[in-house]
Amino acid sequence: KEVPDTPTTTLLIQNLPRRLLQSELAAEIDRSGFRGQYDFLYMPSQFLSGRGMGYAFVNLSTPEAAKAFASAWCKSCRWPDKSSNLLGIAPAQVQGRAANM
């Protein structure tokens, strides 16, 4: 999905590999040019196994950074060794760092 014209900063990243760690996701976000442009990252995991649930939330510093992130990450495959799924990006229902804490 495209990021709408409303002030969106928090995005849902979909189709993440379930074996991916949050630290690996953060490293890839940094490597892809967004180091220092996000202030919140949350990747839910299953309590017993610790495996991811296939999605994460990231809050970018500005709506412009969110649009750039969505353009760079949507329909990309960042971990071909762990999954061949293309990533989906959508605006999160809850927007902003404070609201997600």
CATH number at residue 57: 3.30.70.330
- Within-domain flag for 1: no
- Within-domain flag for 35: yes
* Structural domain boundaries enclosing 72: 10-93
Q: What's the average model confidence in pLDDT over 13-33?
A: 94
Q: What is the pLDDT of residue 6?
A: 59
- Within-domain flag for 5: no
- Within-domain flag for 63: yes
Q: Comparing 85 with 99, which gets the higher pLDDT?
A: 85
The CB-side HSE value for 43 (13 A sphere, CA atoms) comes to 21
Number of domains composing the chain = 1
pLDDT band of 25, cuts 50, 70, 90: very high
- Within-domain flag for 101: no
pLDDT tens sequence across 40-98:
999 998 887 778 889 999 999 999 999 999 999 999 988 877 667 899 999 998 887 77
Tokens of 71: 């353009």
Q: What is the pLDDT of residue 94?
A: 81
- Within-domain flag for 87: yes
